[in-house]
Structure 1
């Protein structure tokens, strides 16, 4: 255990667990009222399933006009890294000084975020790293977990990423635990690629069924990653559209658990921010360090 982030930063990362509609409303209303009463803050935001937003509107009555409502499928549109980008962009454009705003946030557990054990692990990584990524922000977030869709195992894992839960784990330690799961072996038909990697990835991905546009974007993400990673000693590609995988082998360890998750300060990316671009484009970016360098896998789709 380490010190709770609330003791170290202004970011207030909370969690509400419920299994019925009335329990959701009972957790959400005081939180939204807290946001409405916070001096110097813009209106609080409720990001949830449409039916839950309707419950809140009915319960709030005339106060509903003071709340911003966003359907969670409009907020959580892809990978965990996409959620980081969405949150950072919203705070930059809508929060008060220092990121002051109250956000009620319900993931899409019957969609991408809860579709498989792999997706769930990536979501828990996001929840853990949020404690570091948003540490400088005076944002108050309440993550809503509905056991009817998220399930008890997911909730138990998420508690470890939320301060005040009683089982909170250091985010770096939790991310390392997720990365301790070995990567699956490459497919038997993995194709060894030669430089220039942009041309090789584009051609091989198209041969495996990606459209020219998707293959171009995938190739661009691979090249961006190589610019961040330094010396790449080998690259290979396998899989069929839409889930093509490119594996890069590097001589240097990545080490940083936040690699590719930190929002860039400007729209024009620097070479060292290539992993950010790759994480925005790809469904998954897996990094495994070892004694000889790192293995980095990028999966498109």
Structure 2
């Protein structure tokens, strides 16, 4: 079947973040095909991108017919290759390189809920945070995103949580409030034998030495030490740091002398979205598995877990 382009609609000037839930192949196509037809009928837009499970891409190939040549099809395991912060970088990089004026492009996006994103409550919370903060991070862009959730894979609890991050769901929650709710879950306390490094910032050589002793390979030692240094430089005066764990899960907790109070810290893409020294918390979020920020009564803690 070949789709017919939808009638042109007035150009938008801000992020349009939608959600579709499907529980069968037919329901997937019922959501995806009108969205792609809308994209193909949008004047001046580049080709839409469908990021989905391989089986769903096959469905689209069959259903789109001749129009398939006008749609970029990307297996979602090639797009979502790491943490939620990595997904921000991938999206920002694609928009910078391929979107039309003002960020105009349609993206059909199916998270890999059968992989990393859905493997634990911890991972699920990180991806719901990503969905929520996307409303702020991409707010100035005229991008239209349809997040497709397969209820056969994601399950009821994940779908219900994701609805709260999408403005068209009827149960949308302000992203700042939703992020604060996720951060209200306490982190495990540092172990009693954690190594303490004095302030005002941990010495990179001390972090390298410690990480090497814990068994991290040399390349990972350098990334971990750089992430700690970048985070420390971005956060300002510190009251010291703690190190614990062993390869591959090495952890550094920075004790900050002030409240951080910014849910977007380290998520805002810099001009060059590839991780490189000089990018502060962005670099740390790109190379670490988790970066947790917790404001406290006096000051804050920023915990970086590598691996």
Q: Same fold (TM over 0.5)?
A: yes
2:262 matched to 1:256? yes
Asked whether the 8 Å contact 1:9–1:135 carries over to 2, the reply is no
2:147 matched to 1:143? yes
SS in 2 for 1:148: helix
Residue in 1 that maps onto 2:301: 295
Q: Tell me how far apart the structure 1 counterparts of residues 61 and 277 of structure 2 sit (CA, whole Å).
A: 44
Q: State the TM-score, normalizing by the size of structure 1.
A: 0.94
Q: Tell me how far apart the structure 1 counterparts of residues 28 and 212 of structure 2 sit (CA, whole Å).
A: 46
Residue in 1 that maps onto 2:281: 275
2:253 matched to 1:247? yes
Give the one of 80, 94, 116 matched to 2:98. 94
Runs of 4+ in structure 1 displaced over 6 angstroms?
267-270
Instruction: Map Cα deviations across residues 150-179 of structure 1 (whole Å, 9 max, x no partner).
Output: 111000000000002110000000001011
Offset of residue 138 of structure 1: 0.3
SS in 2 for 1:149: helix
Count of residues in Structure 1 that have an aligned counterpart in Structure 2: 293
2:211 matched to 1:205? yes
Q: State the TM-score, normalizing by the size of structure 2.
A: 0.92
Asked whether the 8 Å contact 2:202–2:241 carries over to 1, the reply is no
SS in 2 for 1:248: strand
Residue in 2 that maps onto 1:117: 121
Q: Tell me how far apart the structure 2 counterparts of residues 57 and 151 of structure 1 sit (CA, whole Å).
A: 26
Residue in 2 that maps onto 1:186: 190
Runs of at least 5 residues in structure 1 that lack an aligned partner in the other structure: 1-7
2:225 matched to 1:219? yes
Offset of residue 237 of structure 1: 1.0
Q: Tell me how far apart the structure 1 counterparts of residues 248 and 26 of structure 2 sit (CA, whole Å).
A: 40
Residue in 1 that maps onto 2:5: none
Q: Tell me how far apart the structure 1 counterparts of residues 46 and 119 of structure 2 sit (CA, whole Å).
A: 34
Instruction: Map Cα deviations across residues 29-63 of structure 1 (whole Å, 9 max, x no partner).
Output: 00001000000101110001111111110111111
